[in-house]
Structure 1
Amino acid sequence: MSKTAFCFPGQGSLEAGMGREIAEAVPAAMAVYRLGSEASGLDLQKLCFDSPVEELVDTEVQQPALVATSLAILAALRAEGLEPDVVVGHSVGEFAALASVGAITAADAIGLVRERGLAMAEAARTHPGSMAAILGLEDEAVETLCRKIVGVWPANYNCPGQIVVSGENDAVEECCAEAESLGARRAIRLKVSGAFHSPLVARAADRLKPAVDLIRFHDPVAPFMSTVTARIEPAARLGSLLIDQLTAPVRFTQAARALVHDGVTTFVEVGPGNVLSGLVKRIDRSVRTFSVNDLASLERARESLST
């Protein structure tokens, strides 16, 4: 039997007005923003619906706004009777994925990512760094460069031919230049405030751990595919994985392949943008993808998935 995975996007997928159309039409979705605002101490409804993108880009604001929007869209999918067979999240999207299967509450997820964003911003100020996407090289070639150049690490395995590296500014620059000399199609510096998913933000993991330790994790009602390990993970390991996730690479390519191997034929991107849908198609062209972020795409998903 073919399976459906719900996948939850990470930073960079934000949009002005994200979630507004769905929230205004679906009361359960609007309720997520109210709950999230209380959990984060931010007016997420105002930020997501009315603020320009410039007010959303800061890590400590973007993360709760993204997770709240994903969970609001999830509420709208549920109102249509749609449920996943398995879930996966890209970086901060893992918090929304865990809430979607009842491993943590929505309030806990949004509260935790507010603290996560603050911790990451503080770590980035303490240990400045940067990130860059290397396009058009084999994963192994980029991994070899990272082993050769001190101070840079693979950070995101997004799809074949697209790895993001993270590290000290000079090391990232050197890695980009070396990659282009090896035949990389492009090396694009990302607009981020720090060297995320690298050892340079270990202080963020230290700061987040006490907040995670206060959370009680429940057995997921549907399997949770970790992008830290690219394996289905149980409740007992979830807290430590959320800490490890800050300094470990995001293994989205490996996780998506594992899901396809396990019978997933449809991926539903639950959240703003369509970044993950594009990545999944590059990982395996045989699967179906849906990006659900407004009423029209919600209706398309309902019509296709209900049948």
Structure 2
Amino acid sequence: MGKLAFVFPGQGAQYVGMGKEFYEQISVSRKVYTIASEVTGLNLPGLCFEKNEQIDITEYTQIAMLTTEAAILAALQEKGVKADVAAGLSLGEYGAILTAGAMSLEDVFRVVRQRGILMQEAVPTGGAMCAVLGMDGEKIAKICDETEGIVSVANYNCPGQIVITGEEGAVAVAAEKLKEAGARRCIPLNVSGPFHSAMLKEAGEKLGKVLEQVELRAFSTPYVTNVTAEYVTEPSEIKELLGRQVYSSVKWQQSVERMIADGVDTFIEIGPGRTLTGFLKKINKNVTGLHIEKVEDLDAVVKMLGEKQ
């Protein structure tokens, strides 16, 4: 067996009831929800498990998603499963940081709570995002650069699926240009703001000030950052990268390709949904994508990994 990567999804995969089995059945996971509630002053079990409208509001979505991912991670680690490397898409990068051991659980929850608030507050009117299907990322980036106004690539998800972000008018113009240039489809996304665009630079800078108060730790498990799609091995790099991540492109495809080039052949997606597992199939069909969302998934993955060794 080659190397093993833990990967964590970002905002958008959340739903009411996510993680509930882990909370009810696994004590280390339940403790994660307790710590998150104590640190943030929010009722995380209520937010994640009981029907509510807050779960889809950025300010609350981010902490709810990350708490769920951290709870599942704790259960997996209790089984003795260790990653060789980790990565996460946007918000999910904080799951990778937990895997690396670069921050305490309490500090990660404090930072993510503030990240959600800052991004919610910073959402300007007139922002938009749009998924572009069936076109090369470099060509999309070039057309965005040539379009007047603020518009850029938000996410390099996988071959044939790129997301653009920025001012509503500029995104609309770029989408028309992209269709004329051969994009199969351009689909406006139902999001609350132009995430990962220059319009959120102020939020990223404010998050940098929050991160100044956080103590970083030496870590033995490296992770790959969205901003550069390269390994982070030094704690000193983390704060600046996390601030920039808010308004920079998410280089997810490049991050996965970087890990595969380094010998990763098995990826475990930890958290709600199968978004990253779907991207993985389009990035490279020759690697294994596993997924843990329910307790039965955890048992199946642990069994499968044991048989591989």
TM range (shorter): over 0.9
Aligned twin of 2:156: 157
Residue 183 of structure 1: CA displacement? 2.2
Aligned twin of 2:239: 239
Look up the SS of the partner of 2:70 in the other structure.
helix
Aligned twin of 2:140: 142
8 Å CA contact 1:98, 1:220 repeated in 2: no
Aligned twin of 1:211: 210
How many angstroms apart in 2 are the aligned matches of 1:171 and 1:260?
A: 35
Structure 1 residues 178-200: Cα deviation after superposition (integer angstroms, max 9, x where no partner): 22222222111112111111110
How many angstroms apart in 2 are the aligned matches of 1:220 and 1:185?
A: 43
Amino acid at match of 1:215: V
Residue 55 of structure 1: CA displacement? 2.6
Residue 101 of structure 1: CA displacement? 1.8
Residue 300 of structure 1: CA displacement? 1.3
Aligned twin of 1:177: 176
Moved more, 181-190 or 226-235: 181-190
Look up the SS of the partner of 2:205 in the other structure.
helix
Structure 1 residues 58-86: Cα deviation after superposition (integer angstroms, max 9, x where no partner): 11100000110000000111122111111
2:129 to 128, 131, 140: 131
How many angstroms apart in 1 are the aligned matches of 2:291 and 2:238?
A: 26
Amino acid at match of 1:301: V
* 1:200-279 alignment runs, 5 A limit: 200-233=199-232, 234-279=234-279
TM-score, L = length of structure 2: 0.96
How many angstroms apart in 2 are the aligned matches of 1:185 and 1:23?
A: 42
How many angstroms apart in 2 are the aligned matches of 1:3 and 1:139?
A: 28
Look up the SS of the partner of 2:131 in the other structure.
strand
Structure 1 residues 239-277: Cα deviation after superposition (integer angstroms, max 9, x where no partner): 100001011100001110000000000000011111011
Amino acid at match of 2:185: R
Look up the SS of the partner of 2:156 in the other structure.
strand
Look up the SS of the partner of 1:56 in the other structure.
helix
How many angstroms apart in 2 are the aligned matches of 1:221 and 1:294?
A: 28
Aligned twin of 1:106: 105
Aligned twin of 1:41: 41
How many angstroms apart in 2 are the aligned matches of 1:155 and 1:121?
A: 17
Runs of 5+ unmatched residues, structure 2: none
* 1:43-122 alignment runs, 5 A limit: 43-52=43-52, 54-122=53-121
Residue 229 of structure 1: CA displacement? 0.9
Residue 232 of structure 1: CA displacement? 0.8
Amino acid at match of 2:109: I
Residue 224 of structure 1: CA displacement? 1.0
8 Å CA contact 1:274, 1:291 repeated in 2: yes
Residue 145 of structure 1: CA displacement? 1.1
Look up the SS of the partner of 1:306 in the other structure.
helix
8 Å CA contact 1:230, 1:258 repeated in 2: yes
8 Å CA contact 1:96, 1:106 repeated in 2: no
Amino acid at match of 1:265: D
Look up the SS of the partner of 2:101 in the other structure.
coil
Amino acid at match of 1:61: Y
Amino acid at match of 2:57: D
Structure 1 residues 147-200: Cα deviation after superposition (integer angstroms, max 9, x where no partner): 111210111000011111110001111122222222222111112111111110
How many angstroms apart in 1 are the aligned matches of 2:119 and 2:177?
A: 28
Aligned twin of 2:30: 30
Alignment of 1:292 with 2:285, yes or no, is no
Alignment of 1:198 with 2:200, yes or no, is no
Residue 95 of structure 1: CA displacement? 1.1
8 Å CA contact 1:82, 1:306 repeated in 2: no
How many angstroms apart in 2 are the aligned matches of 1:113 and 1:100?
A: 15
Structure 1 residues 99-154: Cα deviation after superposition (integer angstroms, max 9, x where no partner): 122100111111111101111111113x5411111011111220111111121011
Look up the SS of the partner of 1:289 in the other structure.
strand
Look up the SS of the partner of 1:104 in the other structure.
coil
Length, aligned pairs only: 305
Look up the SS of the partner of 2:231 in the other structure.
coil
Identity of aligned pairs, percent?
A: 38
Residue 202 of structure 1: CA displacement? 1.1
Amino acid at match of 1:246: V
Q: How big is the alpha-carbon RMSD for the aligned residues of Structure 1 and Structure 2?
A: 1.2
